[in-house]
Amino acid sequence: MTTLMLKAGREKSLLRRHPWIFSGAVARCEGTPEPGATLRIQAQDGRFLGWAAYSPASQIIARVWSWREDEPLDADWIARRVHAAIDSRRRLLPGVHAVRLLNGESDGLPGVVCDRYDEVLVVQLASTGAARWRETIADALLAATGLATIYERSDAEVMSLEGLEVRTGPLRGAAPPETLDIAEAGLAFRLSVTAGHKTGFYLDQRDNRALVRHHAKDREVLDCFAYSGGFTLNALAGGAAQVTAIESAASAIALARDNIAMNALDSERVEFIEGDVFKLLRKLRDQARSFDLIVLDPPKFAPTAAHAGRAARGYKDINLLAFKLLKPGGLLFTFSCSGGVHRDLFQKIIAGAASDAGVDARFLAQLGAGLDHPIRLAFPEGEYLKGLMCEV
């Protein structure tokens, strides 16, 4: 077994059960392990620290699978982890079949994401260790769920950081249909697991969509980065007087219109605007438009902390404009899904935007992903989705 020896004092994060080992913490690596190979992680004094997957192309040179020396990594170990994660979702969200089943490091499976859309599982294997155990993970998922179809969407930006090739296509069973229909809180949504964003749908926003629905009654709503209409449909279902939805992709707008029709919601209360959100927010400001409730759910601006400065400027810009468009007493639901922007920084950005907009704002709630997106206490990086519900 190859051993990765850490520099003196660099074992502290592992003793706190943080699963990442950065290349700068390594004193030496014995042998020439292949990418994804399991390494024994050892402190300078010889103490065992964990079993980890080797990733030579990444700054995160190893990701810890297990902290127990007597717990070797094999197919049975992976099956137990997969079953435990799925059993947790069954307890927490009984009867929900549009759900995240595996959430990477926070479920003890670094780089492994699996979302369920009724009878179809969609996996993303975004670490060398996950890719090495691809077939074993697939077998464990089928055994734990009783399903027959797995589609792989290993096409995230982080693939290149791990030195992995993009892989998409059927992993088990036949290819899924071009579109699938799922149910969420009494609404139906059509999605594409082969061509949609992420794995096909933003499951992490389930609770926040419900919150917008609760507060939408009789309000003029602006939904920015609307995609397939998740927040728009919930605002309509909550009794919004009017919804203006901005989305840059014509295909997403078409899907949102289909979702509205499928739910028999009033399409006359929706205005779709195709275009760049940054430019259109300025246009709405110049037109002296105003709204009672605004949703800002942009795509990832900062995949890593190195991009945080540029991302901060983007978040500041759209939130400043949103505050200018809000009526007194209006609500802003604003989000960041950038792993490189931590919650404290995001709150500071929003506070700065409110100040520059000349409004007196307060946040009513901190928002995040739902129960199917757990966050390991020792791994705050797992909290990629951050949000604030603000009032002016």
For residue 193, tell me if it sits in a domain: no
Q: Are 190 and 201 in contact (CB under 8 A)?
A: no
pLDDT digits (tens, 9 = 90+) for 135-186: 999 999 999 999 999 999 999 888 888 999 999 999 999 999 999 999 999 9
Tens digits of pLDDT across the chain (392 residues): 799 999 999 999 999 999 999 999 999 998 889 999 999 999 999 999 999 999 999 999 999 999 999 988 999 999 999 999 999 999 999 999 999 999 999 999 999 999 999 999 999 999 999 999 999 999 999 999 999 999 999 998 888 889 999 999 999 999 999 999 999 999 999 999 998 888 999 999 999 999 999 999 999 999 999 999 999 999 999 999 999 999 999 999 999 999 999 999 999 999 999 999 999 999 999 999 999 999 999 987 756 666 667 778 889 999 999 999 999 999 999 999 988 788 999 999 999 999 999 999 999 999 999 999 999 999 999 999 999 999 99
Rounded Cα gap, residues 349 and 312, in angstroms? 7
CATH of the domain at 282: 3.40.50.150
How many secondary structure helices (H) and strands (E) does the chain include? 11, 20
367 and 279, same domain (yes or no): yes
Q: Which of 134, 137, 163 is nearest to 35 (CA)?
A: 163
Rounded Cα gap, residues 217 and 215, in angstroms? 6
62 and 81, same domain (yes or no): no
Owning domain of residue 337: 202-391
Rounded Cα gap, residues 84 and 66, in angstroms? 14
Active site residue 337: yes
Three-class secondary structure assignment of 274-291: ECCHHHHHHHHHHCCCCE
369 and 265, same domain (yes or no): yes
222 and 304, same domain (yes or no): yes
pLDDT the model gives residue 304 = 61
105 token code pair: 């490091």
Q: Which of 124, 148, 180 is the last residue of a domain?
A: 180
262 and 315, same domain (yes or no): yes
In Å, how far are 20, 71, 256, 353 from 74, measured between CA atoms? 20, 9, 44, 50
8-state DSSP, 183: E
pLDDT the model gives residue 156 = 86
97 and 237, same domain (yes or no): no
CATH of the domain at 56: 2.30.130.10
222 and 298, same domain (yes or no): yes
> 3-class SS at 257?
helix
236 and 297, same domain (yes or no): yes
92 and 206, same domain (yes or no): no
Q: What's the number of domains the chain is made of? A: 3
For residue 196, tell me if it sits in a domain: no
> 3-class SS at 87?
helix
pLDDT the model gives residue 363 = 95
Instruction: Compute how many other C-beta atoms are within 10 angstroms of the C-beta atom of residue 299.
Output: 11
Q: Which of these is catalytic: 29, 114, 224, 337?
A: 337
CATH of the domain at 107: 3.30.750.80
Q: Which of 93, 129, 135, 134 is nearest to 108 (CA)?
A: 129
Rounded Cα gap, residues 258 and 229, in angstroms? 9
262 and 348, same domain (yes or no): yes
For residue 100, tell me if it sits in a domain: yes
For residue 188, tell me if it sits in a domain: no
214 and 361, same domain (yes or no): yes
For residue 190, tell me if it sits in a domain: no
For residue 336, tell me if it sits in a domain: yes
pLDDT the model gives residue 307 = 64
For residue 195, tell me if it sits in a domain: no
Q: Which of 124, 146, 180 is the last residue of a domain?
A: 180
233 and 376, same domain (yes or no): yes
151 token code pair: 């589609």
For residue 52, tell me if it sits in a domain: yes
